[in-house]
Amino acid sequence: MQGIKAYAAVAKETASPRDLESLLLLKAAFKLQAVYDGWTDQPHGLDDAVLYNRRLWTVFLDSVCDETSALPVSIRQNIANIGIYVMTETFSLMTNPKPAQLVPLININRELAAGLRGNG
The CATH number covering residue 106 comes to 1.20.120
Q: Please tell me the predicted confidence (pLDDT) of residue 119.
A: 65
Averaged over successive runs of 10 residues, the pLDDT of the chain (120 residues) comes to 56 73 96 96 92 96 91 93 96 93 97 85
Where in the sequence is the domain holding 88, given as residue range(s)? 2-117
H helix or E strand, kind and range, residue 29 = helix 17-37
- Total domains in the chain come to 1
Q: pTM of the entire structure?
A: 0.83
Calculate the alpha carbon distances from 87 to 16, 37, 68, 70 in Å: 26, 22, 23, 24
Q: Using CA atoms, how far apart are residues 108 and 2, in angstroms rounded to an integer?
A: 24
Q: Please tell me the predicted confidence (pLDDT) of residue 41.
A: 86
